[in-house]
Amino acid sequence: MIPIGQKIKEARKEKKMTQKELADNNISRSLISLIENGLSYPSMQTLEYLALKLDKHISYFLADDNSINSDLLNLIADLEYLLDTKEYSQIISKAESFIKYKLSDKESIKKLDLGVFYCIIGIAYQKTNDKRAFDYLNNSVDYLKSEGNNKYISKAYNCLGLVMYKNKIYEQMEYYLKLADSCISIITFENINQKLHILYNLSLAYYHQHKYSLAMDILQEALKHSKTHEIYYLFGEFNMLLGLTYRSFDKIEEAIDCYMKAIKYYKLIDNKYMEHRCYINLSILFRACDDYYNSLNYINDAIIYFQSINDEVKLINAKVEKLISMFILNKDKDTILETAVSLNKNLNIPDSAKGELLTILAYQKLRSKDYSSSLSLFKEAEKMLYNNNDTEMNLFIFHGLSIIYEHLNDVENAHTYLSKLNKKLQDRPYYHRYIYNDNTPFNT
């Protein structure tokens, strides 16, 4: 290995500079002489400064051409351990340091090693919501394709799918996850968890595109793999998503059964957070079959739990779902308006929850024939719930707006929202009970 001092001397001569010319207020000529003769070792700050003046990457002075691949392999081993232990900030710190100080000549590094390295960085960036994830993962795939490393290509594609999920680009998410899935043709004990993770994300991509049959097929395939290999990774999440899929087909009993299985699993592994998330969804399902007693019991349990752990977002969502049950099933009518107004004052309320509250408030205005205020509230709620296809409150928005526009003799808009209402009823048959039951909010 060539000493750092000798490299500095050669770089200085290459630039045709004397020691005196290289020196300035930041570093003395005598220190440069000591470093070049191996009698002193430069600090990292000094080395960065000299590299800048000599037009060299700092890795030029640090790296030995014969050892950089070895250094990278050792680093990858460390990063893989940190990835398993979810120490994403440490991965980023170590990787960025290596890139800054040692990674100057990529041509001297094996493509396989570089691809794995970039993949791990990309995963860490994705986990920390860093926009650089996409570029690193794409570069990883480019390097790994030529090497045929299916394990890490699959990881990279899966993570690219998650980047698309965060950006709500579900078609592209589906594309990457299909590629990730195609990399694992034979399931082994070593790759079963990765396979299940990909299948869960793929079913999520289908679900968000309303491809419910495809989502159901993938979820059932995943649960079959879990049973065959006796590996229950994501078992609760699979059942929760399968429950939502059954709900989309108006199979409420099957959906409830899925959530009961998920709850049993989360109790077994003592995951109270996910258990109580299931309670919120169970409450929604029980109100879909007019079971106010069970709907109220489960949502109250969720409210108590999320209050105890100070999770304000989940607590607000749970309270809003309780209010929706009261509203839809016409229970405790005297407290609905007061509760809605109180919740609406919370500055931390998510847009979707706020949209649902505004729908309830708009209905109260509609009942009192305050069409102007009701119209304004419905339109604001519609905007907030535009991308939330799962909420029942869109049904009430379309119904309310069709009534208001009919009252205002705006035939075109009245027809538009009536068509949207009918389309919603066609997509979710169980919504019919909200219209044809005399004891519903539709009877304004």
Residue pair 85/122 in contact (Cβ under 8 Å)? The answer is no
**Highest-scoring range by mean pLDDT, 31-45, 49-63, 246-260:** 246-260
Which of the 8 DSSP states describes residue 24?
Answer: B
Band of the pLDDT at 180, cuts 50, 70, 90?
Answer: very high
Q: d(Cα 432, Cα 277) in Å, to the nearest integer?
A: 27
CA 288 to chain centre: 28
Angle at 361 between CA 357 and CA 365, to 5 degrees: 165
Most confident of 51-60, 350-359, 389-398: 350-359
Whether pLDDT at 155 is above 60 = yes
pLDDT at 39 over 90: no
Whole-number pLDDT of residue 133: 97
Per-residue tokens: 301: 């349990």
18 backbone φψ class: left, alpha, beta (φ>0; ψ -120 to 50): beta
pLDDT at 72: 85
Per-residue pLDDT, averaged over 8-16, amounts to: 89
Longest dimension (CA), the chain: 95
Band (150; pLDDT cuts 50, 70, 90): confident
The mean-pLDDT minimum among 63-72, 184-193, 224-233, 423-432 falls in: 63-72
pLDDT at 433 over 70: no
- Domains, the chain, in order of start with CATH, read 4-62 (1.10.260.40), 291-349 (no CATH), 353-444 (no CATH)
**Residues whose CB falls within 8 Å of the CB of residue 423, separated by 6 or more in sequence, listed in order:** none
Cβ–Cβ under 8 Å, residues 431 and 394 = no
